[in-house]
Structure 1
Amino acid sequence: MKKLQHLSLLLFLYTSISLAQNSKFVIQSPDGEINLEVNVGEQITWSVSKNNQQVIMPSVVSLALENGEILGRKPKVVNTEEEEVSNSIDAINYKKDVVKDHYNQLKLNFEDDFALILRAYDSGVAYRFFTSKNGEVTVTSEEANFNFSGDYMSYFPYANDPAHDVYQISFENLYEHIPLSEIKKDTVGFAPVLVELPGGIKAAITEADLESYPGMFLKAGESKNSLKGDFAPYPLEEVQGGHNGLQSYVTKRAEYLAKTSGTRNFPWRIVIISEEDKELLNNDMVYKLASPSRIKDVSWIKPGKVAWDWWNDWNISGVDFPAGINTQTYKYYIDFAADNGIENILLDEGWAPKGEILNTIPEIDLEEIISYAGSKGVGVWLWSGYLPLAQQMDKALEVYSQMGVKGLKVDFMNRDDQAMVDFYYELSEKAARHKLMLDFHGAYKPTGLQRTYPNVVNFEGVRGLENVKWSNTDFPLYDTRIPFIRMLAGPMDYTPGAMKNANKANFRAVNSAPMSQGTRVHQLALYVLYEAPFNMLADNPTNYMDEPESTAFIASVPTVFDETIALDGKVGEFAAIARRKGNTWYVGAITNWDSRKINLDLSFLPEGEFEAIIFKDGVNAAREGTDYKREVKHISADDQLEIRMAPGGGWAAKIYPVK
């Protein structure tokens, strides 16, 4: 790994006299625009400003241990360490091949064997606790406060509120656009949460490097202008239940959050700060703050696209065998994938008997499917519910690795307490040993695990296209929110690709023959816009073969890239991104239910002449969502293109040098 590092280390020792006084410590972002200030007195508080505008007001942080010790109450600084770091991270299976990691760091070392580490980047700030205590410690609570100077609007995704456990959720809820003061006091939401400040500034709260510790929810703080962290207590008792008995429901929780090593780093608490909304479309904070890869050889990890069965209900047609969960149907999917350059197929729920993972139903000959796929150069993935896999993890990984399976889609975890976070890490490490990739569904938001274990190639934690099968959610609105909010945390398995596309008036939720809201080109653009190293084609092969132009474009879009540029966007209205792989560029833009015209500046292109294959909404796309126009034109970096998008529409292009 190439690292260009400049370290400037300053050590300040404070006398016992100075320690008796309140102490203030300040670090700035490398560009000097962000100030991160820490005040140490009776408590530890932190605050953040950007260009003299307050982003986070003084907010208390602490960590409480079972022995009654509170790290942050009457703390005494022993010494401080400051450093400026400028690295280049060689990213693995990411939206860019190199991530510039430039920050200023302050470490406050306290008596009682703990420290607070703070970083200031040009795009935000982060802090974390560090402890150096012997043996194991029990964390009973954490105080993570985010105070604002006004009652600002927020994008807040409430958790479900089931009677049994507020912390047991799918992490797919919609964003309520509400003032901080109107956040309900008796429930929680999950990160990232986005807050709108004056002057167009946005502040997004999330976390990174979550390991052996519960994930951070957010709830209304003590004042009407504040948010505070909330964490699922450790599960003491669980019962099997949920969908087909694949889930584990917590029936009793402990009075502590985690039992963990006494010497460790705790998760980063992050505030991402933007002046323009489009900056949120290309942010690397979570990736930078994650632990580096623990897999030495990553050459076998090959993400890509996958022909998927469940969304389209196996509804292929024009064949001489009964379609469904059977060997012949999957051979049909394999033929489709091979003919169109799709790297994988997935056997979703149903290939194994309910609640099992080491057996198949009689209609499935798994060895024959894998052998046939291998002869065609197509990989096979298997879906698994959480509980059967957790109960037989070692055996299942061994059996399916030896059989030639490429990866597992694991579903219905639906929690992020310490025990579940430990499951993610255990599975990721063991799967890597067996050279198996992972796609986490029913999953909490990414916190950088995909950097630590690059065999983890996607996460759900998003209200994906599957929901159109039963929901009238406003998807074009949601689609134009999540790239600015949820995608800040990392990749998302939204599963685009619908070939049946409807305007608002014509849309119906149909479980077995689903359609998307918005236009065909809206769906095509999502393959460029949304980060998804493992990206599914949701519709069925028959429909794709009936739409060869759309299918060829989807197949041509890579799932990982060498460069990403945020072109334009506004939260909940529209988004436009350009991504490069080699010398080919891909551009995707979408809008909400408002028709829209934007100007696309092509100055991101290098010098020379280029040809662009363009998909744009057809003249009648507002009436008939499948209406689109494909055109090919010559362009250069000096050009500007006027993009017109229909309601719920989009625009997509593949741009390559003219030979």
Structure 2
Amino acid sequence: MRNSLPLLFLLLLTTRQWAGAQTQSALTARQDKVSLTFALAPDGRPSYAVSYGPKPVVLPSRLGLAFADGQGFDGPLTLVGSDVKDVDETWQPVWGEVKSIRNHYQQLTVRLRQSAPPGRLLTLVFRVFADGVGFRYELPAQPALQYFTVQDEKTEFNLPANHKAFWIPGDYDSNEYTYSTTRLSEVNSAGIEAIQLKSAPQRVQTPLMLKSDDGLYVNIHEAALVNYPAMMLDVDTNTFGLRSHLVPDALGAKAYLQAPEHTPWRTIVVADNAPAVLASKLILNLNEPTKLTETSWIRPQKFVGVWWEMHVNKASWNYSDVSNLKLADTDWSKLTPNGHHGANTQNVKRYIDFAAKYGLQSVLVEGWNVGWEDWANNWKEEVFDFVTPYPDFAVAELQQYAQSKGVKLMMHHETSSSVTNYERRQDAAYRFMQGHNYDAVKTGYVGRIIPRGEHHDGQWMVNHYVRTAQKTADNHIMVDMHESVRPTGLHRTYPNWLANEAARGNEFNAWSSGNPPEHETILPFTRLMGGPMDYTPGIFQIKLDDWNPERNKGKQVHTTLAKQLALYVTMYSPLQMAADLPEAYEQHLDAFRFIQDVPVDWDDTRILLAEPGDYLTTVRKAKGKEEWYLGAITDENARRQSVKLDFLTPGQRYEATIYADGKNASWNNNPMAYQIRRVKVDSRSTLPLALAPGGGAAVSFKPVSK
């Protein structure tokens, strides 16, 4: 109540100013319940507003760009012209959650000119969909505008009320935080331990998920982030306004551009129910069609890997326990092995055998290449060369062995954030991959970026990620980027860019306070709005001290085993890891059957039940098959659900195999208790599900004869 009078005065004042502006130059676009209005304020500054039916989504909010030369578009502008057009088309993704996507919007294009010299031109493009709005700044080629530096972006999102927000700090270098759930007025990251760079207390990352008290769900993010820094949001905790904040470079500038140019799209997804937010394809639709002329070599897949055993302290990435080595001067064959290097030939063969036996397509191997002895926290330029294996990793032998088993090996390129080093060596690294039958790579960017002073989410690194997507595509290589900027739908343009991490993944359960049970119910509404995540689900040995009692004492994954299965459906990715060790799966092969069966490419997706931070139930139809798969997860609270199966094909009978939490299961006390049962169902059936605290359920539906 302490801010109610100032806020009321502000709203009245803003409404009057907006009304005055509308009499001058109000322009509108609409699609179903979503409407957008553009206007020039009396002082010539552009503004926009968004509503959903009678409810305001974004109050009149400023637009503009400030340039380093002081002649940007943050001052008075005049309207030159405008036009409206309608677009309704359908396109087919190379892979995805659905077989085809409708792209239906009304576009408002507004052309503006600076009132004062040099009279530069700016175009604003708004696209209004049935589930939200996207808009961007376009800077056409013109004599008065060639090279320019963006110093600030004036985009605002003035919200009508003190919404509930699901947020993480606006860290320039990491998205690996647990989510806070507060009112906008309570956003404050001052007490949160920073992973790399301390965020300003009221700065948050996008995607930002919001819920209003009057029943609207609003998601703010961006689409098609290319040649521009990531957008974060500064929260005014008094007025509930949000203002764009661009990640700076080493000199404090935001973006170096050359006309003609445009910014990424700023996106606002809005709906009156949570499932509709997750079903939105607005961000994908705002990205360009694929740049690749041939895509048959791109294969969604499941994989295992020499990875988790390092996180649970059963093995190491490094071959020897020494330090202060120089890449070019070290004779790696003379180093004394530490005896617990994970990426050795015999161990990798064990994973290949497991993948071949159970129908998984690939094996990721981390720690195969020299340099891991001296890689962390040194801000060192040349750590890895990406072509030299350790003495105990037989590249040619493993290539032949994997081929004989019908399994692919997946490359790992940890750059240690020495990105200049990686870019110098990429051509040689990709030739090495092609010469040894690797067609997928997982890149990593742990640490502080080199060039020094650049940030993971700044323009320089954004351009690196896009260049890497294009360069891997040129070499027919699929890529999975970790510690990168969060995605913005660019997997439509570069479908070989299968996944990113760019969030707090499952591995945090192994060496930190872990991920709270609500974490996976929030991620689909936040991080996954822009694209798939390599979350690495499928951990069966929930209590981690079984692997190394001394170093893992008290550590565990904060879910039940059944919830780990459900994540293969609720956490979408065309690249899914069976993340645990083979010996963990071999003790529970009846539950592992779901990981074997569940696809990674889909013809249809339905969000049946959802509430951010609480629960999520998703069902998907396998690509080209009459099979459906369901995942249901909950937070720390137990839940009962009654799921209607009307998504199934009428007249067809199915066998439903239900992988559920066991009796008295819970994430903290009895996490590995599960039960499997089978029932016959059809589209008229209802399936009861009981989810334990921190638990879940996974269900496969396979057709049977009547």
One-letter amino acid of the counterpart of residue 279, structure 1: A
Name the CA distance, whole Å, in 1 between partners of 2:237 and 2:674: 51
Alignment correspondent of 1:220: 235
Q: 1:651 and 1:455 mapped to 2: Cα distance?
A: 31
Deviations 1:509-542 (A, max 9, x none): 9659964222111000001111111111110011
Whole-Å Cα distance in 2 between the matches of residues 265 and 509 of structure 1? 54
Unaligned runs of 5+ in 2: 1-20, 114-119, 189-199, 316-338, 373-382, 447-454
Please name the residue that 1:634 is paired with.
680
Deviation at 1:498, TM superposition (A): 0.8
1:443-471 CA distance string (max 9 Å, x none): 22111121111111001112111000122
Residues 581-600 of structure 1 correspond to what in structure 2 (within 5 A)? 581=622, 582-600=625-643
AA partner of residue 595 (structure 1):
A
Secondary structure of the equivalent of 1:465?
coil
2:155 is aligned with 1:144: yes
Contact 1:563 1:580 in 2 (8 A): yes
Q: For residues 105 and 23 of structure 1, what CA distance do their matches in structure 2 show? A: 17
Q: Which residue of 1 aligns with 2:433?
A: 400
Distance 2:348 2:542 in 1: 25
CA drift of 1:637 comes to 0.5
Q: 1:592 & 1:25 partners in 2: Cα distance?
A: 44
Deviations 1:160-195 (A, max 9, x none): 5xxxxxx2x221112211221222364522111112
Q: Does 1:114 align with 2:122?
A: yes
Partner of 1:15: none
Structure 2 match to 1:16: none
Which deviates more from structure 2 when the two are superposed, residues 525-534 or residues 341-350?
341-350
Q: Is the 8 A contact 1:502 1:624 kept in 2?
A: no
Partner of 2:489: 448
CA contact under 8 A between 1:614 and 1:632: conserved in structure 2? yes
State the 1:323 CA deviation. 7.4
* Residue 257 of structure 2, aligned match among 257, 260, 267: 260
| CA–CA separation in structure 2 for the residues paired with 1:117 and 1:584 | 41
The alpha-carbon distance between structure 1 residues 114 and 483, as it changes in their structure 2 partners (threshold 3 A), is same
Match of 1:430 among 471, 482, 486: 471
Give, in angstroms, the shift of residue 312 of structure 1. 2.6
User: C-alpha separation between the residues in 2 aligned to 1:620 and 1:69?
Assistant: 66
Question: Structure 1: how far apart are the matches of 2:213 and 2:147?
Answer: 45
Q: Shift of the alpha carbon at 1:72?
A: 4.9
Distance in 2 between the 1:469 and 1:509 partners?
Answer: 13
2:91 match:
89
Q: CA deviation at 1:611?
A: 1.2
Kept in 2, the 8 Å contact 1:499–1:515? The answer is: no
Aligned match of 2:582 in 541, 544, 547? 541
The amino acid of 2:704's aligned partner reads V
Structure 1 position 610 matched with structure 2 position 654:
yes
Letter in 1 for 2:159: F
Does 2:204 correspond to 1:189?
yes
Compare 351-360 and 565-574 and name the one that shifted more. Answer: 351-360
**3-state secondary structure, aligned to 1:46:** strand
Which one of 556, 572, 581 corresponds to residue 613 of structure 2?
572
| One-letter amino acid of the counterpart of residue 257, structure 2 | T
Contact 1:617-1:628 at 8 Å conserved across structures: yes
Query: CA separation in 2, counterparts of 1:270 and 1:469?
Result: 35
The answer for the alignment partner of 1:243 in structure 2 is none
Bigger strand share = 1
Query: Is the 8 Å Cα contact of residues 281 and 484 (structure 1) preserved in structure 2?
Result: yes
Give me the whole-angstrom Cα distance separating, in 1, the residues matched to 2:148 and 2:431: 34
TM-score, length basis structure 1: 0.88
Q: Deviations over 1:319-374 (max 9, x none)?
A: xx977220110011001001111111101135332321221111111222122112
Preserved contact between residue 205 and residue 272 of structure 1 (Cα < 8 Å) = yes
**Given the superposition, is the C-alpha separation of residues 560 and 122 from structure 1 closer, same or farther in structure 2, using an over 3 Å criterion?**
same
Q: Is the 8 A contact 2:207 2:221 kept in 1?
A: yes
Q: Among 293, 302, 307, which residue is 2:304 paired with?
A: 307
Residue 222 of structure 1 and its aligned partner are, at CA, apart by 8.3
Matches within 5 A, 1:360-439: 360-386=389-415, 387=418, 388-412=421-445, 415-439=456-480
Match of 2:362 in 1: 344
State whether residues 399 and 409 of structure 2, in contact with CA within 8 Å, keep that contact through their aligned partners in structure 1: yes
Task: Check if 1:654 corresponds to 2:687.
Answer: no
2:688 and 2:660 mapped to 1: Cα distance?
11
Per-residue CA deviation, residues 220-247 of structure 1 (Å, 9 max, x unaligned), is 248531111111122xxxxxxxxxxxxx
Q: Distance in 2 between matches of 1:513 and 1:373?
A: 37
Mapped partners of 1:646, 1:546: distance in 2: 22
Residue 50 of structure 2 is aligned to residue 35 of structure 1: no
Deviation string, structure 1 residues 262-316 (Cα, Å, up to 9, x no partner): 1122100011112111222322122111111111101001121110222233859
Partner of 1:487: 528
Equivalent residue for 1:625? Answer: 671
Determine the C-alpha separation between the residues in 1 that align with 2:232 and 2:399.
41
Q: Which residue of 2 aligns with 1:173?
A: 177
In the alignment, the residues of structure 1 paired with residue 237 and residue 273 of structure 2 have an alpha-carbon distance, to the nearest angstrom, of 29
Q: Secondary structure at the match of 1:449?
A: coil
Letter in 2 for 1:107: T
Letter in 1 for 2:425: Q
Q: For this pair of structures, how many residues does the alignment match?
A: 608
* Cα distance between partner residues in 2 of 1:631 and 1:520: 16
Letter aligned with residue 392 of structure 1: R
1:620-659 deviations in whole A, cap 9, x for unaligned?
A: 3234211111111110110111111111111111102113
Equivalent pair of 2:509/2:515 in contact (CA under 8 Å): no
Q: Tell me which moved more, 400-409 or 287-296.
A: 400-409
TM-score, scaled relative to structure 2: 0.83
The Cα of 1:396 is off from its aligned counterpart by 1.2
Aligned residue number for residue 563 of structure 1 = 604
Aligned residue in 2 for 1:11: none
Is contact 2:500-2:533 (8 Å) kept? yes
Structure 2 counterpart of 1:265, one-letter code: H
The answer to whether the 8 Å contact 1:280/1:485 transfers is: no
2 CA distance for matches of 1:322 and 1:55?
56
Contact 1:171 1:461 in 2 (8 A): yes
8 A contact 1:577–1:587 mirrored in 2: yes
Q: 1:502 to 1:654 in 2, by over 3 A?
A: same
Partner Cα separation in structure 2 for residue 475 and residue 485 of structure 1:
16
Identity in percent: 28
Distance 1:324 1:470 in 2: 18
* Partner SS state of residue 270, structure 1: strand
